Amino acid sequence: MSIRIAFFLFAIFGVLGMGCSKKNPAITPDSSTNTIIIANGKPLPTGTIDGVTFINSGTSVIFNIYAPGKKSIAVIGDFNSWVGTAMNETPDGNRWWIQIDNIDPNKEYAYQYLVDGTLKVADPYTQKVLDPSNDSYIPASVYPNLKAYPAGQTGIVSVFQANQPAYSWKVTSFTRPAQKNLVIYELLVRDFVATHSYQTLTDTLSYLANLGVNAIELMPVNEFEGNSSWGYNTNFGFALDKYYGTKNAYKAFIDACHAKGIAVIQDIVLEDQFGSSPMVQLYATATGSPSANNPWFSATTHPDGVGYQLNHQNAATQYYAKNVMKYWMQEYHIDGFRFDQSKGYTQTVTTTEAAWANYDASRVALWENYNNYMKSIDPGFYVILEHFADNSEQKVLADQGMMMWTNLSSPADQATMGYPTGPVWDLSGLFYDGYGFTAPYNLVAYFESHDEERSMFKNETYGNISGNYSTKDIPTALKREEMLAAFLFSSPGPKMLWQFEELGYDISINQNGRVGEKPILWNYNSDINRRHLYSIYAKLIKMKINNTVFATTNFKYNLTGAVKIVQLLDNAVNVEIAGNFDVVNQTANINFPSTGIWYDNMTGASINVTALPYTMTLSPGEYHVYSSKLLN
C-alpha cells in the first residue's frame, strides 16, 4: 500500500471516528489503526499529489505538504500578497493542505510555507526555486526571463505555474545501448563548456558522438547550494538547478542525445541533503541539524558523510526517494541514474570505512526495493551504484542487474607512470569474474572520474625515468595513455571515462580547490599529440561496440606484470592484446589462441605466429591489439 493511499484511508477512518467520539474532542486515538485522529481535520481532496496540484484548468491550486506534528501551517505567496492563508490539517495529523482559487494559469507565482507562525520554508516538491543569494549571478543567456525574487521576502522561495512552456519531444522512441556495450562519458557542465549551459552542451554533442561514446553521465543537475558546484550539496530533489539552463533546454539536450544514439544518465544524490533543504529546516535543532523527530533524516552520519544523512529505513524517506526517482524518469526521459554514495543507504552505525563496507542485509533489501521500483516504471532503466562495499554484497546487487562502479585509478596511474609497486599496477579489476559476479555486464570500470587525480597530471609530475625514456615527457605519457585505453575498452562490460581524459587533460584535481572551477582547455583538441590520443580512444570505443568479441565471457588475462596480456575468444574472431608498461624493454612469451596470421588493428601491420608460445620483445610503452581477422 502506498503512503498516499494510507493517508487517504486514515483520513476516512478519522471522519468515521468523529461520529462515534465524545463531543468535540480535539484529538482521539483510533485503536484499530494506531493513528491519531484530528477531530477537525479535513481529508485531502481525491487526486491531490505532493506539492502543488492544478485543478479547474489551472485556475485553482491545492497546496499539500507532509509535516506531521506541526501546530499550524499557512501558505504565503504572490497570490495572497504574502499574507498567510491557513491550511487544513488532515485527520491523521500528517499533512496540511489548502485550495487557492483565482489563479492565472499562464503566470509564475512564488510561494512559501509559514510553519508554526515563525519558520518560512520552500516546498520540498517544487520544480523551481528562486534564491536571493545566487540567482543574480545567472546570466540571461543561460536562463532567459528568470522571474525576479519577490521584494520584501527572505529565504529560498518555491515557484509554480500551471501552463509551463511546453516541450515537444522529437525522439519519442529511443533504443538504449545494450549494457554490455555501454561506454559512458562523465562530465560536469560547468567545467566542460565555458557558458555552463545546456544549449552549448547540446551544440558540442558532435564531438562526443565522433568519439563514439553512447552514454553521457551528468554530475548532479537538481538544485544544489550555490551556483558553481560539483552538485553533491543538494537541497531540492525535484527542482532543476538554473545555473545550467531551463527545463526545456535540458529536455532539448536529452532529445539531441537520443537523436545521436546517446543515452543520458543522471548522477543523483539521495544519501544526504544540506542545510538549506526545507526537509532539514522543517525539523531542525537550534544549530540547524536535523532534530530527533525529523521524519526523513538520521541523527548519525557515515564516515564519508558531508551533508545530513537521509534515513532510508523510514517510510517517509522511501516515499520521497521513489517520488524523486519517478519524477526525473518520466519528466525528462532520462535513461539511468548513478546513485552517489549508495553505500550510505543504511542505518547500521559505523565509525570506519572498512566496517561501513561490510555486508549489510538491510542495505541489500533497500536497494532491491528501489531497483524493483525503478524497473517497474521502466524495465530497461540503468541503475548504477557508487557502492564500494564488500564483494559479497555487490554480487547480490549486480546479479539483479544493478551496475557497480569500480575505481581502478590507482593501479592505472602506477601503470602509466611505470611503477610496479607503491601500490601495485595490477589491472585485473577490469574483469568482473574477480568480484564473483555471475552477470558479466554489471561492472562499470574506469581509470578517471570526477573524484580522481588526473592520470596525465601524475605522469608529468611523478613519472618514472630510465635513461632517455621518461613517462614525464608529454608525448611519451600520451602514448602510454593510449596503451592503457586499449586494456580499458577490451575488457567486457560497461566502461566510463572522465571529461577530456581522451585529450590527456593534465590539470590537477586540486587546482583552485578540489571542487573549484578548472580550466576548460578545448585548445588541446588542436594539439597533434592530444588529438591523436582522441583518435585512438575513438577507434578503441568503436571497436568495442562494433565487435561482439569485446562482450565475450570466454577470456584469459594476466594483468599483474610489466607486460600485460588479455585474450578474448569469440565465434567470429579472437583477440590478443599485449602492452609493456615498464620503462625498459621486456620480452614476453604470448600464448595466442592459435598459430597463423594475426592483424594489428592499431598499426595495420600483421605477424605470422608459427609456434606457441610466441616470443615478443616490446619497447617501453609499446602495445598491440591483435585479432585473427581485422576488426570492424
**CB burial of residue 438 (10 Å; 0-12, 13-18, 19+):** exposed
**Mind listing the pLDDT tens digit for each residue in 157-206?**
999 999 999 999 999 999 999 999 999 999 999 999 999 999 999 999 99
Amino acid at 99: Q
Helices (H), 418-527: 455-462, 474-490
Q: All domains of the chain, ordered by start, with CATH?
A: 43-160 (2.60.40.10), 179-551 (3.20.20.80), 556-627 (2.60.40.1180)
pLDDT at residue 36 in the model? 56
Starting at the edge strand that comes first in sequence, how are the strands of the sheet with 95-100 ordered? 51-55, 60-66, 95-100, 88-89
Q: Which of 68, 160, 53, 50 is nearest to 99 (CA)?
A: 53
pLDDT less than 50: residues of the chain: 1-35
- Do 309 and 344 form a contact (C-beta atoms < 8 A)? yes
- Taking the C-alpha atoms of residue 51 and residue 162, their distance in angstroms, rounded to an integer, is 13
pLDDT of residue 538: 98
- Element (DSSP H or E) covering residue 466: strand 465-466
Backbone φ, ψ for residue 447 (5° rounding)? -105, -25
Strand partners, 76: 112
Read off the pLDDT of residues 292-334 as tens digits, 9 standing for 90 and up.
999 999 988 888 889 999 999 999 999 999 999 999 999 999 9
Q: Do 93 and 69 contact (CB within 8 A), yes or no?
A: yes
Contact 33, 92 (CB under 8 A): no
Amino acid identity for residue 124 in this structure: P
Check: CB of residue 482 under 8 Å from CB of residue 531: no
- Check residue 18 and give its pLDDT: 32
Contact (Cβ atoms closer than 8 angstroms) between residue 110 and residue 77: yes
- CA torsion 357→360→365→369, rounded to 10°? -20
Distance CA 312, CA 345 (A): 6
C-alpha to C-alpha distance for 200 and 193, rounded to whole angstroms: 7
**What does the pLDDT read at residue 40?**
79
Q: What DSSP line would sit under 567-587, residue for residue?
A: EE--SS--EEEEEE-SSS-EE
**pLDDT on residue 300:** 80
- Residue 581 near residue 425, CB atoms below 8 Å: yes
**Burial of residue 59, with CB atoms counted within 10 A of its CB: 0-12 exposed, 13-18 middle, 19 or more buried:** middle
Which residue, chain included where needed, has cell 569474474? 433
Q: Please, are residues 157 and 130 in contact by the beta-carbon 8 Å criterion?
A: yes
Alpha-carbon span 428 to 414, nearest angstrom: 14
In degrees, rounded to 5, the angle at the alpha carbon of residue 480 between the alpha carbons of residues 475 and 486 is: 130
Q: What is the CA radius of gyration of the chain?
A: 28
Q: What is the pLDDT of residue 393?
A: 98
Cell of 513: 580547490
d(CA 7, CA 169): 35
- Return the pLDDT at 17: 33
